[in-house]
Structure 1
Amino acid sequence: MKRRVILGLSAAALLAAAPAFADGVLHIYNWGDYTNPKLIQKFEKQYNVKVTLDSYDSNETMLSKVRAGDSGYDVVVPSDYTVKIMIQDGLLAKTEPDQMSNFKNVKPEFVNIYWDPGRHYTVPWQFGTTAFAVNTDKYKGDINTYKILFDPPPELRGQINMLDDMNSIMHAAERYLGLPRCGADRANLKKVNDLLEKAKPYWKTFSYDTITKMTSGDVIVTQTWNGAAFRMRKKIPAVKYAYPKEGIEGWMDNVAVLKGAKNMENAKLFQNFLMEPENAALISEFAGYANGIKGSLKYLPPDFADAPEITPPAGSPTPEFVQPCPPDVVKIYNQIWTNLRK
């Protein structure tokens, strides 16, 4: 990488000056169908950096690859609880986004977050909720309850897709049963296991490809994320996103740099680039989620900000951000999950 050395400048000033001289490459590992090609093209043109992009389907897939070492990636996009795990395990570089020139654009509520207090490692990518979507042309009943997933009416049985995601399913079951998240009580965990075993015959598939599952007509209900539901509704107006009365999962995906990244300076540039409102809007424009950056909405169409999937209706449950479960609970979760996925 060619880079001009400027002596006597503060770190902030150096960061501000660096884009004029950046070049080289950047290797990004992100969730599939989640990165706007226009965002990458703009970054490449602005900084003369060639970007390669690979995708994964779960935090666990990404984490496994990173832990194995020599992944070749510079940037990853872990969800909130995974960030905390990666920081604890020493897998992320302390890039100090809070000292970058565009950090002023981060919404205050996303600065002192449990997974990265003060933002010393990560910047926001997108945030949202996980619940489920229903084609209301094919089902006319109340959708705002997890009963749809775990004790569905006859017309929905065999017509449900669940995320192939242990935590999302386990926590949804806990909410339906009125149990705490990550609780270690064996009797409660047995209740969760029994509920999942009872519900499994009602489910058609386990898949992250929720948009295709719904828009193809393969299922009537799919566990999914709010932004995916927004994209579904664009294709099928009858699709509605549920806000279950028992509670709803909140999450935020974040852009982090791996410790020892070969293209560290370009990775930092990318973090700062994403905190520019116009660039954050490109992220939301493509994937359909809010982004946590002030001023980005003016670059997005009005139907985005007003969408019920993006701005929940009045009276909707407050999203719950769940911290990583203790190891003893994770062990039992894994046992339940392995048995469920047989």
Structure 2
Amino acid sequence: MHRFVLLACLLLPALLLPRAAAAETVLNVYNWSDYIDPAVIARFEAQTGIRIRYDVYDSLETLEGKLSAGRSGYDIVVPTSEPTFARLVRAGALQPLDRARIPNWRNLDPALMQRVAATDPGNRFGAIYLWGTVGLGVRLDRVRALWPEAPLTGGLDLLLKPENAARLASCGLAVIDSATDVLPSVLAWLGKDPNSADPADLRAAEQALLAIRPHLRAIPGSGAMLDMLASGEICAALTYSGDVIQAAARAREAGKGVELRYLVPPGGAHLWFDMLAVPADAPNPAAAFAFIDFLLQPEIMAAITSKVRYPNAVPASRPLVAEAVREDPNVYPPEAALAHAFVPGTPAQGAERLRSRLWNRFRTGR
């Protein structure tokens, strides 16, 4: 008898283990690199018992390719509103958000949500996570050493004028590897419509990029760009605002004399929004809605903005953001700057093909 009891005691854990493993809820998140406070993930897991599997990408093209193939296995993705999020909405690749399961939706800024409503009528498929602009990151100490009179108020002139790029090439120049985020800014710099599908306008943008291509040290993804800026490997880069602001903070912590500044194009910057979205075939949408609701709490969004130095769309979070971040006009641009900013639309298919071929020629330098 005692042997049967002993055997049952030995077998019971083995019988229960598969059931316990099967009951574990896993949330699969696919987000930009360096784009969340790890403490937020730990807090969500502790509060809900849901385990997060967190993967990262460093370009919109990578994200879109993964989702377009179908069955990505992700429950949460963070595409930029234009054009990736817009294309995914039109392709039926995302599912509507269940607002009943996201009561903290009420915390979102209606004015900012209206900015993405053209892409997502009624804001059915996405909530703004973080946002920012595209501009110029400059290592001031190196630029001033090479060129004391460098035009630091002329927006993208410092990089996009070939004679300026040639003058600064020795200290390292870079352009973020994203046609989606670079071409609208180049078109605007040329005085053209950022959404232009005119082949002549796109040729002009290509010529402008090819003119500086010999002077570039790199065309990196976002993660690599951040590292190159923080280490001082490059002195001027066309990239995301938060990359520069994060890199500047890292450089200050390292204490090696790398001084970075973010320059917003004075004529109007490319404004973008990264959206919390749920793929149509998400394996666990209920956990995804719970995570979105968790993120939209003011104290949680404040922690994320304080960590990654990108602004969020929850106004009640701002007083809770670290003061150095909250008061930085590069993180939270003045209203006047936002009024002049543009949100690019989604190129038509023909224009998209032209842009893709243009970008490939730019990357290869021919």
Please tell me the root mean square deviation across aligned C-alpha atoms, in Å.
Answer: 1.9
Where do 5+ consecutive residues of structure 1 fail to align? Answer: 1-21
Q: Which residue of 2 aligns with 1:11?
A: none
Where do 5+ consecutive residues of structure 2 fail to align? Answer: 1-22, 145-149, 253-257
For residue 299 of structure 2, give the secondary structure of its aligned residue in structure 1: helix
Contact 2:132-2:273 at 8 Å conserved across structures: yes
Q: Which amino acid aligns with 2:33?
A: G
C-alpha spacing 1:272/1:329, structure 2 compared with 1 (3 Å) = same
Contact 2:229-2:244 at 8 Å conserved across structures: no
Q: Which residue of 1 aligns with 2:8?
A: none
C-alpha spacing 1:134/1:296, structure 2 compared with 1 (3 Å) = same
Q: Which amino acid aligns with 2:105?
A: F
User: In 1, Cα distance between the equivalents of 2:99 and 2:234?
Assistant: 42
Q: Which residue of 1 aligns with 2:13?
A: none
Quote the offset at 1:195 in angstroms. Answer: 1.4
Taking structure 2 as the reference length, the TM-score comes to 0.83
Which residue of 189, 203, 211 corresponds with 2:216? 203
Contact 2:133-2:272 at 8 Å conserved across structures: yes
Q: Which residue of 2 aligns with 1:157?
A: 169
Which residue of 76, 85, 88 corresponds with 1:86? 88
Q: Which residue of 1 aligns with 2:353?
A: 331
Q: Which residue of 2 aligns with 1:51?
A: 52
Contact 2:175-2:219 at 8 Å conserved across structures: yes
User: In 2, Cα distance between the equivalents of 1:283 and 1:166?
Assistant: 27
**Residues 1:143 and 2:152 are matched in the alignment:** yes
Percent sequence identity over aligned pairs? 26
1:61-104 deviation per Cα after TM superposition (whole angstroms, max 9, x unaligned): 11111111221111100110111111100000112338731111
Q: Which amino acid aligns with 1:228?
A: D
C-alpha spacing 1:86/1:315, structure 2 compared with 1 (3 Å) = closer
Q: Which residue of 2 aligns with 1:243?
A: 264
User: In 2, Cα distance between the equivalents of 1:23 and 1:122?
Assistant: 27
Between 232-241 and 196-205, the greater mean CA deviation after superposition:
232-241
Q: Which entry has the higher C-alpha Rg, 1 or 2?
A: 2
Q: Which runs of structure 2 are paired with 1:103-252 in the superposition (5 Å)? A: 103-112=105-114, 113=116, 114-140=118-144, 141-144=150-153, 145-151=155-161, 152=164, 154-158=166-170, 159-207=172-220, 208=222, 209-234=224-249, 235-236=251-252, 238-252=259-273
User: In 1, Cα distance between the equivalents of 2:353 and 2:363?
Assistant: 15
User: In 2, Cα distance between the equivalents of 1:313 and 1:95?
Assistant: 31
1:211-257 deviation per Cα after TM superposition (whole angstroms, max 9, x unaligned): 21122121111222222222222224731111222321110101101
Q: Which amino acid aligns with 1:150?
A: L
Contact 1:124-1:254 at 8 Å conserved across structures: yes
For residue 90 of structure 1, give the secondary structure of its aligned residue in structure 2: coil
User: In 2, Cα distance between the equivalents of 1:108 and 1:23?
Assistant: 36
For residue 209 of structure 2, give the secondary structure of its aligned residue in structure 1: helix
